[in-house]
Amino acid sequence: MPLPIEGGVIGHYTLEEPLGEGGWAIVYRAVDLRLGRTVAIKILREAAFVQEADWGSLLREARLAASLAHPHICMIFDVDEDKGRTYIAMEYVEGLTLKDLVPEDGLPIEQVSRYGLQIADALAYAHLQGVIHGDLKSSNVLVAPEGGMTKLVDFGLGRRLRAEEIRRIATSKLSLAEVGRPAGTLTYAAPEVLSGKPTSVQTDIWGFGVLLHEMATGQFPFRGQTAFELGLAIMTGQRDASLPRVQHRLHAIIDRCLEKEPGCRYQSAREILHDLEELPGGLALEKQARPSWRFRRVVLQAALAATVFLILLFVIPTTRTVILRQHLLPRSVPNAVSPPGRVNDAGGSEIPRAPTAGNPHFMVWVNTKSGVYHCPDSVWYGQTKEGRYMTEAQAQENRYRPAVGKVCQ
């Protein structure tokens, strides 16, 4: 593959060798001339973004994606233009794609659990930051050779253009082989995307369901000889009955992810995380490999007069320690689960917290500088040291550090 840039230099990056190509870009290993580090450079094809509106859309998406800091998300360093070509500088990850690693008969259930937990955790984090992937597929999941750590790439980049391309090829009578690379994206497309609706959290959850099915069986849940037939199977929900069955609990997770109606699917990646933990090896793997964006947990035992709860201790990767304590609140305080808990920081401020009924998980945002907390699934929101309560919008705007806990009863 010849270098697309004369002299092999774009911006302040020297291109070394091609790593792969997709429908709208070619990826090269490169060296950052300023910092001396190895990076991956994605150079957009000349026809990919030709309008000013498209460039603005890409830049907005890249800025959002660049704000993500998660161990299972590939970092974006730079987006720019040089010599008439648009490029994206990203973290270089040595390894293979998940697509390359999945055998024809699928992966062992323990491996599906491990990869699934990592990917779902990355999605849960990104969705809380308001970022949708929009093109979840096995070729966009990199797996490091040591330890099997996954990295999601292409978060949100070119989402609108890919959706337009998917809708265009879904009406094609060409075979999937003739369609080429875009057929890979079509395989993971949700029904609502094919019908012209915008991507959403539920779009990612659908793609995750296809990915789980692929990992577990080595096959895709929907098939067709042509792009049109494949699109029709997705739109009508006609899954291939000849496909191998998967472990019962995993099958139920996949089924819920692949509900035709978005409202019938999981409503958040956090819900998927909870169910994945119940798979063989899932909870043990979750305890061993929970990413660093979540706080390390230590379980303490406490007893109240009428109720016994387990207390979760979060250790933030700074000097601050946050302890979740259980307290009885006045009857006048509305809550989803009784009795609700309180978040207590090192500075002594306490905040009521009540997890959603029927869901043992809760989410907390922590700003380690100000000591402000936010619990999005609680009736109450974070309280500052001055005694002011915050809205969910304010917590999102201030980009608080997220953490997830689990209440055991």
Domain limits of the chain?
Answer: 6-91, 96-289, 296-406
Tell me if 6-91 shares its fold with 96-289.
Answer: no
CATH fold for the domain made of 6-91: Phosphorylase Kinase; domain 1 (3.30.200)
Q: Which pLDDT score is estimated for 209?
A: 96
**Helix, strand, or coil here: 362?**
strand
Per cent of the chain over pLDDT 90 is: 29
Query: Rounded to 10 degrees, what is the CA torsion of 123, 244, 113, 66?
Result: -20
pLDDT band at 366 (very low <50, low <70, confident <90, very high): very low
More confident residue, 359 or 34: 34
Report the mean per-residue pLDDT for the chain.
Answer: 68
pLDDT band at 202 (very low <50, low <70, confident <90, very high): very high
User: How many CB atoms are located within 10 Å of the residue 191 CB?
Assistant: 19
Q: Which pLDDT score is estimated for 61?
A: 74
Is the model's pLDDT at 278 over the cut of 90?
A: no
Cα–Cα distance for residue pair 94/99, rounded to 1 Å = 15
Residues serving a catalytic function are 135
The dihedrals phi and psi of 114, each to the nearest 5 degrees, come to -65, -50
Query: Rounded to 10 degrees, what is the CA torsion of 207, 208, 209, 211?
Result: 90
**What pTM, to 2 d.p., does this model score?**
0.65
CATH code of the region 96-289: 1.10.510.10
Q: Which pLDDT score is estimated for 91?
A: 92
pLDDT band at 354 (very low <50, low <70, confident <90, very high): very low
